[in-house]
Amino acid sequence: SRMLRFFPPVVTGTIIAVIGINLMRVGINWIFGNPVGPTAPMTVSPEHTEWLSAMRSAGATGQAGMLPVPEGLSLAPTVPNPRYAALSGLGISVIVLATILLIARFTRGFIANISVLLGIVVGGVVATAAGMMNFDKVGKAPWFDIVLPFHFGVPVFDPVMILTMSLVMIVVMIESTGMFLALGEMTDRRIDQPALARGLRTDGLGTLIGGIFNTFPYTSFSQNVGLVAVTGVKSRFVCVAAGIILLVLGLLPKMAALVESLPTVVLGGAGLVMFGMVAATGIRILGGVYFTHNRHNALIVAISIG
């Protein structure tokens, strides 16, 4: 956190703008349905269908390692999505985006604050009517389940893996620093060294807890920064309430399955607004940078974004 002095407005604004610009790619892929992988989970090469069925059966008996992998097997992320950029998905994203904009423009108070949520709900209803949602997993999921720590085994301390993850977390910390500064701009609060240190410690604690409960490292989610700008809600108590709700939902597998069944095209319309607001915050910070007679500032922004 002592490196905060190396983050003047020209650096802070550039970092935040780059975060928003990079997230645009995620939002566009959500709108079009992703070119590969998760949005086409049933897309399997025909010659490998029999092998995959045998793997599922063998996996249930613990003998999956005995089956040889066929030559040329394609992993899921490399399988093209035949439904990429379908007009139906694009239309749903437009409906979500229009709903959010109309609610934010013509309503006030609580309704305006939950415009993103209402837009996603409307998109989910339209996607259901269009037959784009599959509720099979919802029906099969139990109503209640407890997540036990170290479900996959106790930690193993490998020096190489520790070094690798440490480097990854350093990158995450730099990105988190940019997000903390962006939130400071949105909430009109100066982020000093103690505040930044508290934020990074919270990130570290979340990563530790995430590892204990069998999930990926928890870090600050840059997409949520855009929510603050879109809704105007800046209270930390809202975040606490949301955390409690998520803890409760974590005990209800049916809710997790319901969220998983939501098509990414629904999230795409909301993501376009949220990610754009992150980039707009960075641009607003850069608006206060002196470019006219200091070409070094222009070079910093140009090289960083380029």
Which is higher by pLDDT, 122 or 277?
Answer: 122
Asked if 104 contacts 230 with a C-beta cutoff of 8 angstroms, the reply is yes
CB 289 within 8 A of CB 55: no
Q: Check the CA dihedral 124-127-131-132 and report its sign.
A: negative
pLDDT of residue 305: 80
**d(Cα 223, Cα 59) in Å, to the nearest integer?**
36
Q: What is the pLDDT of residues 156-167, one digit of tens each?
A: 888 888 888 888
The pLDDT score that the predictor gives to residue 296 is 84
Per-residue pLDDT reduced to its tens digit, 139-160: 888 888 888 888 878 888 888 8
Beta pairing partners, 80? 36
Structurally, how many domains does the chain consist of?
1
Give the Cα separation of 26 and 286 in Å (integer).
Answer: 23
pLDDT for residue 283 is more than 50: yes
Contacts of 89 (CB under 8 A, 6+ apart): 31, 32, 33, 83, 132, 263, 265, 268
- pLDDT above 50 (res 39): no
Q: Is residue 74 part of a domain?
A: no
**CA 44, CA 184: separation in Å to the nearest integer?**
46
Taking residues 30-51, what's their average pLDDT? 62
CB neighbour class for 234 (10 Å; exposed up to 12, middle 13-18, buried from 19)? middle
Is residue 248 situated within a structural domain? yes
Is 77 domain-assigned? no
Q: Specify the DSSP element, H or E, that contains 209.
A: helix 193-212
Measured over the CA atoms of residue 177, residue 178, residue 182 and residue 185, the dihedral's sign is positive
Q: Which of helix, strand or coil describes residue 80?
A: strand
**Per-residue buried b or exposed e for 112-139, using 16+ beta carbons within 10 Å of the residue's own CB:** bbbbbebbbebbbebbeeeebbeeeebe
What is residue 38's predicted lDDT score, i.e. its pLDDT?
46
For residue 69, is it within any domain?
no
- 67 Cβ contact list (under 8 Å, min separation 6): 51, 54, 55, 58
For residue 272, which amino acid is it? L
Instruction: Check if the beta carbon of residue 243 is closer than 8 Å to that of residue 191.
Output: no
Q: How confident is the model at residue 268 (pLDDT cuts 50, 70, 90)?
A: confident
| Interval 52-108: pLDDT, tens | 777 666 655 555 455 666 666 655 555 556 666 677 778 888 999 999 989 988 888
**Structural contact between residues 225 and 182, judged by C-beta atoms closer than 8 angstroms:** yes
- 155 phi-psi bin (left φ>0, alpha ψ -120 to 50, beta other): beta
Could you give phi then psi for residue 16, rounded to 5 degrees? -65, -40
Mean pLDDT value across the chain:
79
Domain, as residue range, for 217? 2-52+83-305
Other C-beta atoms within 10 Å of 55: how many? 15
Q: Is the residue at 73 inside a domain?
A: no
